[in-house]
């Protein structure tokens, strides 16, 4: 069968044996995420027609203003995963604490937890710019049959069993890995089905795009300033092109296809960085490494960090391997 005629459901089933745990639970979980993604996609695509854009009037645990679509996406993913009785716990960027889920007939027998950023880049909705969802899946480490605890969620990224994102753009794509490469699926809106459109996705080893909010340049560490100047020099294959959307999913997706680096360093305004380790950096780092890329905090691999709290923030450098390594060189010189 031609790879590009495969649906996401067929692909998940066909590749189930390559996953070290073959109980079928992970397949059902991925299918649950697929269903929720289609519901959120439907709401995102009609955002300009109904009263669902703009601020919701509340702030999340990070002190950020919640958008109406943030709230909607958060509810849809939590409801879908909870009702299908396939996870024992969920942590969301939009929730203060994790959610323990007790299936009525299983008494905490499910083995997987999900960490999720329901709508990354949601502030871009009002101006019709691409947004996305980021998810990360782990096996619980506390005994099956007991309620989940914070320790189940504070696992290093190396323990992830699956991660991915959905980008709601000119087309809607679901991109994910279970540790055996990265594959992308595009939604056919007429049929409501995701088809394998981007098999075996990989970052080019080098690239010509750097993605950083240069409006914060004055607040960046000197190593980052030096690297940005390096990107702008007219030498060899430089200067590089600056492309920054402000939606991590969209910037990551473009850079993986075309070759580039995404930087969100710490700064004098955000001493620990801004991106969340568990909801954004770890899943993107897993994808990057599986796609021949690299992700670090400027010095060390992101997935080697032992999380200390649910909403921990870290600096983030991610993309084509040689570009990330060059940025790390500049960081080391100024350490």
Helix (H) or strand (E) holding 14: helix 8-14
Alpha carbons 114 and 83: distance in angstroms, whole number: 14
Tell me: do 190 and 219 sit in the same domain.
Answer: no
Alpha carbons 282 and 296: distance in angstroms, whole number: 10
Is 204 contained in some domain? no
**220-252, pLDDT tens digit by residue?**
999 999 999 999 999 999 999 999 999 999 999
Alpha carbons 6 and 12: distance in angstroms, whole number: 10
Nearest 5°: the CA angle 215, 218, 221 is 115
* Number of separate domains in the chain: 2
Tell me: do 80 and 150 sit in the same domain.
Answer: yes
Alpha carbons 40 and 165: distance in angstroms, whole number: 13
Burial of 104: CB neighbours in 10 Å, binned 0-12, 13-18, 19+:
exposed
Q: What are phi and psi of 140, to 5 degrees?
A: -60, 155
Question: β-pairing, 89-92 with 99-100?
Answer: antiparallel
Say which CATH number the domain at 302 has: 3.40.190.80
**DSSP β-bridge partners for residue 194:** 187
- Is it the case that residue 271 has pLDDT exceeding 80? yes
Question: β-pairing, 241-242 with 209-211?
Answer: parallel
**120-166, pLDDT tens digit by residue?**
987 777 777 889 999 999 999 999 888 999 999 999 999 999 999 99
Q: Strands (DSSP E) along 182-321, which ranges?
A: 183-188, 193-198, 209-211, 241-242, 260-264, 293-296, 316-320
Tell me: do 213 and 98 sit in the same domain.
Answer: no
Q: Is 119 annotated as a binding residue?
A: yes
Q: Is 122 annotated as a binding residue?
A: yes
Is 45 contained in some domain? yes
Give the CA distances from residue 224 to residues 53, 86, 133, 177, 204, in Å, rounded to whole numbers and listed in that order. Answer: 35, 42, 28, 30, 22
- Is it the case that residue 334 has pLDDT exceeding 80? yes
**DSSP β-bridge partners for residue 316:** 264
Say which CATH number the domain at 126 has: 3.30.540.10
Q: Is 117 annotated as a binding residue?
A: yes
Tell me: do 244 and 146 sit in the same domain.
Answer: no
Q: Is 136 annotated as a binding residue?
A: no
**184-197, pLDDT tens digit by residue?**
999 998 899 999 99
Asked if 185 and 195 touch (Cβ cutoff 8 Å), the reply is: yes
User: Could you list the residue range(s) of the whole structural domain that residue 299 is in?
Assistant: 209-333
Is 132 contained in some domain? yes
> Within 10 A of 194 (CB to CB), how many other CB atoms are there?
23
Which of 198, 227, 249 finishes a domain?
198
Is 125 contained in some domain? yes
Which of 177, 198, 219 finishes a domain?
198
Q: Is 213 annotated as a binding residue?
A: yes
- Is it the case that residue 10 has pLDDT exceeding 70? yes
**Rama region for 254: left / alpha / beta (φ>0; ψ in -120 to 50; rest):** alpha
Alpha carbons 223 and 217: distance in angstroms, whole number: 11
Burial of 78: CB neighbours in 10 Å, binned 0-12, 13-18, 19+:
buried
Alpha carbons 297 and 156: distance in angstroms, whole number: 14
Is 82 contained in some domain? yes
Q: Is 328 annotated as a binding residue?
A: no
Tell me: do 223 and 94 sit in the same domain.
Answer: no
pLDDT band at 65 (very low <50, low <70, confident <90, very high): low
Task: Tell me which DSSP letter residue 240 carries.
Answer: P
Q: Is 83 annotated as a binding residue?
A: no
Q: Is 197 annotated as a binding residue?
A: no
Tell me: do 194 and 217 sit in the same domain.
Answer: no
Q: Is 93 annotated as a binding residue?
A: yes
Tell me: do 257 and 280 sit in the same domain.
Answer: yes
**12-58, pLDDT tens digit by residue?**
888 877 666 656 788 888 889 999 999 888 887 775 544 444 454 45
Tell me: do 126 and 243 sit in the same domain.
Answer: no
pLDDT for the residue numbered 133: 96
Alpha carbons 65 and 57: distance in angstroms, whole number: 7
Is 203 contained in some domain? no
Tell me: do 304 and 221 sit in the same domain.
Answer: yes
Tell me: do 186 and 218 sit in the same domain.
Answer: no
pLDDT band at 1 (very low <50, low <70, confident <90, very high): very low
What is the Cα gyration radius of the chain? 19
Tell me: do 215 and 186 sit in the same domain.
Answer: no
> Within 10 A of 124 (CB to CB), how many other CB atoms are there?
18
Which of 198, 228, 251 finishes a domain?
198
Q: Is 244 annotated as a binding residue?
A: yes
**69-125, pLDDT tens digit by residue?**
888 899 999 999 988 778 999 999 999 999 998 765 556 678 999 999 999 987 777
Task: Tell me which DSSP letter residue 243 carries.
Answer: -
Tell me: do 182 and 213 sit in the same domain.
Answer: no
């Amino acid at each position: 069968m031609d790879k590009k005629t495969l649906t996401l459901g067929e692909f998940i089933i066909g590749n189930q044996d390559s996953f070290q745990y073959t109980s079928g639970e992970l397949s059902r979980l991925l299918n649950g995420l697929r269903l929720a993604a289609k519901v959120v996609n439907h709401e995102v695509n009609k955002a300009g027609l109904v009263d669902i854009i703009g601020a919701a009037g509340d702030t999340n645990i990070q002190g950020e203003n919640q958008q109406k679509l943030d709230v909607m996406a958060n509810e849809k993913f939590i409801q879908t995963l909870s009702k299908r009785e396939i996870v024992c716990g969920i942590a969301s960027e939009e929730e203060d604490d994790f959610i323990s889920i007790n299936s009525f007939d299983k008494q905490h027998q499910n083995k997987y937890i999900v960490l999720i950023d329901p709508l990354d880049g949601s502030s871009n909705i009002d101006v019709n710019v691409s947004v996305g969802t980021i998810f990360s899946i782990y096996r619980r480490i506390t005994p099956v049959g007991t309620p989940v605890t914070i320790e189940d969620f504070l696992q290093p990224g190396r323990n992830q069993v699956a991660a991915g994102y959905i980008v709601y753009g000119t087309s809607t794509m679901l991109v994910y890995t279970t540790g055996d490469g990265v594959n992308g699926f595009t939604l056919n809106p007429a049929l409501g089905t995701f088809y394998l459109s981007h098999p075996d996705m990989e970052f080019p080893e080098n690239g010509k795009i750097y993605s950083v909010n240069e409006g914060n340049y004055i607040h960046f560490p000197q190593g980052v300033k030096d690297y940005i100047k390096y990107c702008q020099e007219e030498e060899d294959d430089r200067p590089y092109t600056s492309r920054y959307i402000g939606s991590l999913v969209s910037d990551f997706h473009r850079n993986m296809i075309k070759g580039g680096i995404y930087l969100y360093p710490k700064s004098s305004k955000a001493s620990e960085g801004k991106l969340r380790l568990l909801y954004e950096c770890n899943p993107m780092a897993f994808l990057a490494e599986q796609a021949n890329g690299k992700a670090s905090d400027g010095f060390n691999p992101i997935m080697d960090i032992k999380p200390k709290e649910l909403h921990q923030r870290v600096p983030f450098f991610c993309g084509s391997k040689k570009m990330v390594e060059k940025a790390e060189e500049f960081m080391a010189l100024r350490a």
